[in-house]
Amino acid sequence: MAQNVFAGRPVLVVEDEAVIAMDLCLTIEEWGGQPVGPAASVREALDLLAQTPDCKAAIVDVNLPDGDIGPVLDRLRERSAAIIVSTGYALPPDVQAKHPHTIVLKKPVSSSKAVEGLASLMAGG
């Protein structure tokens, strides 16, 4: 039932830890979504978003080799995307202030929990 929410829609994955990124991508596939990425950096994530205008869902990490996720969240908000943040820390205060209602899951988190969370956001929105 929940798989219908995705129905082949693109979902951006931003995660620089390869195992976790792969796990997320495969899980999204299993739920019927189309993983975009995984992106391992802010730069790459922004490029992928630019190439995929219809991508309105994302599961993202916060700390990336070239900075924090802030700019990616800004871009996602512009297109009213459903977002799940998965991090070992927390959102930096300034990012948190700009995106107060973002759902943040604390690592370690099971990939199916993250995808499920995203699914309910998409269903709700």
Q: Which residues in this chain contact other proteins in the complex, by CB under 8 A?
A: 15-23, 26-27, 38, 40-41, 65, 88-89, 106-111
Q: Closest approach of Cβ 80 to other proteins, in Å?
A: 28
For other proteins, give the closer residue by CB, 43 or 75: 43
In angstroms, what is the minimal distance from the CB of 81 to other proteins? 22
DSSP H or E segment with residue 111: helix 111-124
Nearer CB in complex with other proteins: 8/108? 108
Query: To 10 degrees, the CA torsion angle through 67, 72, 75, 78?
Result: -120
Nearer to other proteins by C-beta: 40 or 81?
40
Instruction: State the Cα–Cα distance between residues 94 and 31, nearest whole angstrom.
Output: 33
Which one, 16 or 98, has the nearer CB to other proteins?
16
Tokens of 50: 């630019």
We find the least distance from the C-beta atom of residue 115 to other proteins, in angstroms, to be: 11
CB of 108 to other proteins, least distance (A): 4
Q: In angstroms, rounded to a whole number, what is the distance separating the alpha carbons of residues 98 and 74?
A: 8
Helix (H, G, I), strand (E, B) or coil at 40: coil
Quick check: helix, strand or coil at residue 83? strand
